[in-house]
Amino acid sequence: MTRIAVYPGSFDPITRGHEDLIRRAFTFADKVVVAVAVNVAKQPLFTLEERVALIRQAAADPKVEVRAFDGLLADFARQVGAAVIVRGLRAVSDFEYEFQMALMNRNLAPGIETVFLVPAFDLTYLSSSLVREVARFGGDVSQLVHPAVRQALRQKFPK
């Protein structure tokens, strides 16, 4: 039986932290479906198509599937036959929102467990919003994102 994990998020853009979590998910999953939210709270920097394409380059692996999803994550996770939803926990500040979301998702899809993964120590401070901000002001993001993402950020913020 293939154990499927869904890893949802905005991925605006994917960072080395996200890539690290995808790799870690393979300790308990055979396949990871990276689920890119169509509707994100704020206006994203990258379009849905750009976010999906960048993940496909940064996390290129036959066991990784990248899909956009609209509507409820719980419905999407059920549709793809996921056993677990993976989320990253970086700091205490993440906890309350993540806890609420996990409980709501369990309410909506009782058979699917949320699993929290802790990123590598040196990636703990990393977030897509910080990467966007550093890139916006011309800072070096080469350690923080895949080269394809760095290139895409350069195009968004030409010097």
90 is catalytic: yes
Nearer Cβ to ligand PNS (10/152): 10
Which residues are CB-neighbours of 147 under 8 A, at least 6 positions away? none
Q: Does residue 146 carry a catalytic annotation? A: no
Contacts of residue 115, Cβ cutoff 8 Å, sequence gap at least 6: 5, 25, 28, 84, 85, 86, 87
Residue with tokens 């709270």: 41
Q: Least separation, in Å, of the C-beta of 159 and ligand PNS? A: 28
Distance in Å, CB of 37 to ligand PNS, minimum: 3
Is 106 among the residues known to form the active site?
no
Asked whether 35 and 113 are in contact (CB, 8 A), the reply is no
Neighbours of 105 (CB within 10 A): 20
Question: How far is Cα of residue 143 from the mean position of the Cα atoms in its chain?
Answer: 18
Q: Choosing from 23, 56, 67, 90, which is the catalytic residue?
A: 90
Smallest gap from residue 76 Cβ to ligand PNS (A): 8
Residue 86: closest CA among 17, 145, 12, 13: 17
**Contact residues: ligand PNS, CB under 6 A:** 8-10, 37, 40, 72-73, 101, 104-105
Of 37 and 123, which has the nearer Cβ to ligand PNS?
A: 37
Tell me how far, at minimum, the Cβ of 80 lies from ligand PNS, in Å.
14
Residue nearest to ligand PNS (CB): 9
User: Nearer Cβ to ligand PNS, position 43 or 159?
Assistant: 43
Q: Active-site positions?
A: 18, 42, 90, 128
